[in-house]
A = this chain, B = another copy of it.
Amino acid sequence: MRFEVLDMPKIDGPRLIADLKTLRAFGATGTGVVRPTFSEVDMAARRWLAGRMAEAGLEATIDGVGNVIGRSRNAGPAVLLGSHTDTQPRGGWLDGAYGVMAALEVARALPDLAIDVASWADEEGTHWSFLGSSSFCGEDVVGDAGVDAAIAGAGLAGRSKARLEPGRYRGYMEAHIEQGGVLEAEGKRLGVVTHIVGARGFDLTFEGQQNHAGTTPMALRKDAGAAAIRFAHAAQTGLAGVAGPASVWTIGRMAFDPGAPSIIPGRASLYLQVRDTDAGQLRRMEAHIEALIADHDRGGPCRVILAGYDDGMEPTAMDEGLQDHVAAACESHAPGQWRRMPSGAGHDAQILARRLPAAMLFVPSIRGISHDFAEDTADADLALGCQVLATAVASILGR
């Protein structure tokens, strides 16, 4: 497949970087940004963004869940571009902010096309993960008092909610930093996302009997820490046996109670997370873990309890047609310097993909760091990603 890109749009790199730096000032903390959803700085950033959208000729609104939507006044067909401007508790300056400002720059670079720009509320889940993109897709969060209070506290109660207009869009596209080290390790500058991984989380508790570590013979022990170590090791080695090429598995948390040198732990806990782009592979890993929990619980002497289970993320394929447009734009601007790859992190694009063809474009993360004050990407890569997005949009809209 080959796309002709005869009349390429030209984005304004310095303008993009300047906008990103202005946005960074809302909640700036050292080199990082602290801008949790519905905080004062977050709302101030949303108002600033709506103003920048209006200056670009878009019809800008902040809706009833905090989404900032800049709707094109041009006739369709349209594309929808976006990401999110909220951050992790100690976040970086780019994360979702890059995708939002790149979207606005594309709309400015292609003033005659119908390009809508969105900043989705609370992607990071300060109150509810993917709150804004879910609402836009008609999946309202109802009956959660914390979310309702947060929305009211931000002064948004009673506002109407923006909804996806059926038939308006050829697709949704989101630019984002990679948040991993694959592109940098391979010397690539762009990633065309094939899938967004699904994830399952297992929050496990091991119950034994707390006791003195000197006076309790090995045979009389119910050591919850030893049980957790046995399980964790079996999970690490066992999952390697059932994993596919894109599988990852992580024990990110492990703790013993009371956690003293001379006390046999009476309780232990660990959090095991698995991710894969393939739903069948994810199910196989999940089944393996479920069998392991049952085995270790039955084997004793400690109980193994599934205290929490998180099935919040489903594997999501990106649209192949849109991917090809993006890939062609990559090859035209950076020949040989791009690759197709999965996204190991969740993104609003996985919500939008339930209703629209969706695609994502990655730019490299320096040293693979994200969700951290040290998060960064070279200015040239930020500009290149935005240029590729513009070219892909022009191609999708048949310009």
Contact = CB atoms under 8 A, between A and B. Distances in A.
Interface in A197-233: 197, 199, 201, 203, 210-218, 220, 223, 225-226, 228-230, 232-233
Contact of A254 (B218, B225, B346, B371): B225
A60 interface: no
A364 to B, nearest CB: 12
Contact of A214 (B215, B251, B346): B346
A264 interface: yes
A182 B219 CA distance: 10
Contact of A215 (B229, B254, B368): B368
A251 B233 contact: no
Contact of A229 (B247, B251, B372): B251
A219 B243 CA distance: 13
A343 interface: yes
Is the contact region of chain A dominated by helix, strand, or loop, or is it mixed? mixed
Given A180-B214, A180-B220, 18 more contacts: A180-B216, A180-B217, A197-B214, A212-B368, A212-B371, A213-B252, A213-B273, A214-B344, A215-B345, A218-B249, A225-B250, A225-B252, A225-B254, A226-B251, A229-B229, A250-B261, A254-B255, A254-B256
28 contacts: A179-B215, A180-B215, A180-B216, A180-B220, A181-B211, A185-B220, A199-B214, A212-B345, A212-B371, A214-B248, A214-B275, A214-B343, A214-B345, A215-B368, A216-B344, A218-B243, A218-B247, A220-B368, A226-B251, A229-B233, A229-B251, A229-B254, A250-B261, A251-B256, A252-B264, A254-B268, A255-B256, A262-B273
